[in-house]
C-alpha cells in the first residue's frame, strides 16, 4: 500500500521544486508519471525540465511519443501512463484516486501555496484521500526547508 505526500510550495515555483523531487524518486529506482491538466502547461514543463541545471539531467518525455514505455519520467494529462509508473506526481490540481495511491509506491501532490484556489483543491484532495483510508503526509517549506507538518 502506498502513501500520498502533499508538498505545499511556498518558497520556489513548481519548475524549481519538481526536479528535486523527481531526482529523489529516480534515486529510489522508481518510474514516475507527472500528471497535469493542460497539455500546453505540460509542454512548458517539459521545456523547463530539459533546460535543467548544469549538474542535473532528468530523462523524460511527453505522453504520446513512440517510446513512452521506456521513459523513466513521463509527463501526462490523464490517468494512463505508458511507463507503468511506481510514483505519480500530481501538479496543477490533477486528480488522483485512492486506488492509485494503494497501487503506487508513492503519490505526490504538489501545489502552489501562493494560490488560494490551489490550496483549497489540495485540502479537498487531502480530505478525499484520507477519508478513503489512504496514508498521507503534509510537507511545508515555509521555514526554508521541507518539514513534515501533518500525518494521517
Predicted local distance difference test score (pLDDT) of residue 58: 86
pLDDT (tens digit, 9 = 90+) per residue, 83-130?
999 999 999 999 999 999 999 999 999 999 999 999 999 999 999 999
Matching residue, cell 510537507: 139
Asked if the model's pLDDT at residue 6 lies above 90, the reply is yes
Asked if the model's pLDDT at residue 62 lies above 90, the reply is yes
DSSP string, 70-98: G-SEEEESSS--TT--SEEEE-TT----H
Instruction: Using DSSP bridges, classify how beta strands 135-140 and 61-62 pair: parallel, antiparallel or unpaired.
Output: unpaired
Domain at 146, CATH number: 3.40.50.10110
Asked if the model's pLDDT at residue 2 lies above 80, the reply is yes
Rounded to an integer, the average pLDDT of 128-151 is 93
DSSP string, the chain: --EEEEEEE-SS-HHHHHHHHHHHHHHTT--EEEE-S-HHHHHHHHHHHHH--TT-----EETTSTTGGG-SEEEESSS--TT--SEEEE-TT----HHHHHHSSEEEEEEETT-HHHHHHHHHHHHHHHHTT-EEEEEE-TTSS-EEEEE-
Q: Which domain holds residue 74?
A: 3-151
| Number of compact structural domains in the chain | 1
Q: Mean pLDDT score of the chain, rounded to an integer?
A: 93
The three three-digit cell numbers of residue 18, written as one number: 519538481
Rounded CA-CA distance 136/47 in Å is 31
Residue 117 neighbours by CB under 8 Å, 6+ apart: none
Instruction: Using DSSP bridges, classify how beta strands 135-140 and 32-35 pair: parallel, antiparallel or unpaired.
Output: unpaired
| pTM for this entry | 0.94
Predicted local distance difference test score (pLDDT) of residue 95: 96
Report the share of the chain in percent with pLDDT over 90: 84
Amino acid at each position: 500500500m502506498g502513501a500520498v505526500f502533499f508538498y505545499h510550495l511556498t518558497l520556489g515555483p513548481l519548475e524549481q521544486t519538481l526536479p528535486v523531487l523527481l531526482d529523489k524518486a529516480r534515486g529510489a529506482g522508481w518510474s514516475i508519471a507527472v500528471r497535469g491538466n493542460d497539455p500546453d502547461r505540460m509542454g512548458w514543463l517539459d521545456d523547463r525540465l530539459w533546460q535543467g541545471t548544469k549538474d542535473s539531467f532528468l530523462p523524460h518525455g511527453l505522453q504520446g511519443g513512440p517510446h513512452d514505455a521506456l521513459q523513466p519520467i513521463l509527463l501526462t494529462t490523464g490517468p494512463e501512463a505508458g511507463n507503468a509508473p511506481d510514483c505519480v506526481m500530481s501538479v496543477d490540481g490533477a486528480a488522483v484516486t485512492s486506488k492509485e495511491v494503494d497501487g503506487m509506491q508513492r503519490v505526490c501532490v504538489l501545489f502552489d501555496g501562493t494560490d488560494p484556489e490551489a490550496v483549497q483543491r489540495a485540502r479537498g484532495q487531502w480530505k478525499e484521500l484520507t477519508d478513503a483510508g489512504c496514508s498521507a503526509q503534509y510537507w511545508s517549506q515555509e521555514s526554508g526547508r521541507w518539514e513534515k507538518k501533518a500525518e494521517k
